[in-house]
Amino acid sequence: MDIYEQLDGTTNVLLAEPPMAQGRDVCTSLLAGQQSNPSVLFVTYTRSPAACLNQLDGHDHSENVGVITVGDNAASIDGVVTESVSTASDLTGLGIAIGQFLSRWDDSVYVCFDSVTSMLQYVDVTTAYEFLHAITGQIHAAGASSHFHIDPNAHDDQDVASITSLFDAKVSLEGETTVRTRELLEPTD
């Protein structure tokens, strides 16, 4: 069974990748999903909007790609909606910006959050946990899908386990790729 079959039915995925892993390919594949031209939202602490868009080579960037930059890497790109949250610890502002993007599109939306590790340089684990709990719930309620990057080697195992508990699945790209999913509740009739 391949990684995408194992993730079928999941909404929020934690993509655990050490710095030297080939996670960008998995990230791009998760963003593309099963649709030919999905709406994609990048939330990034470290990458430029141009770098995010380059990842979607061949994707129509017209009105269905957005980039939220956090901190000092703000920039705009013609034809692409970009927002900036200038203070890296402003999780309220970041949550509002993500919510605005999620409400902007009617079709399937895929969110790439790069990265939890970067966010944890500016806020403590408890604050990050509360933010991630709210955002993953918002993504689920919007019918969107997401993956959040984290470098598991940069954090205490207990902190990673706590954050992992918020996600439907965890994809580990350290050594052999592994996928762990939690049991998803089946809808009742």
Residue 115 lies in a domain: yes
pLDDT in tens, 71-103: 876 677 776 788 889 899 999 999 999 999 999
Residue 183 lies in a domain: no
Look at residue 69 in the predicted model and tell me its pLDDT.
93
Residue 6 lies in a domain: no
Residue 127 lies in a domain: yes
* Amino acid type, 128: A
Residue 45 lies in a domain: yes
Look at residue 105 in the predicted model and tell me its pLDDT.
84
Percent of the chain whose predicted confidence (pLDDT) is above 90: 50
* Amino acid type, 25: D
Q: If you average pLDDT over each of 31-40, 53-62, 80-89, 123-132, which comes out highest?
A: 123-132
pLDDT in tens, 41-79: 999 998 888 888 888 876 555 568 899 999 876 677 776
Count the domains in the chain.
1
Look at residue 39 in the predicted model and tell me its pLDDT.
87
* Strand segments (E) across the chain: 12-16, 39-44, 65-70, 81-85, 109-114, 145-150, 169-172, 178-181
Give me the CATH number covering residue 94.
Answer: 3.40.50.300
Residue 18 lies in a domain: no
What is the domain extent for residue 53?
Answer: 26-172
Look at residue 188 in the predicted model and tell me its pLDDT.
43
Residue 156 lies in a domain: yes
* Amino acid type, 45: Y
Residue 123 lies in a domain: yes
Going by pLDDT thresholds of 50, 70 and 90, the confidence category of residue 148 is: very high
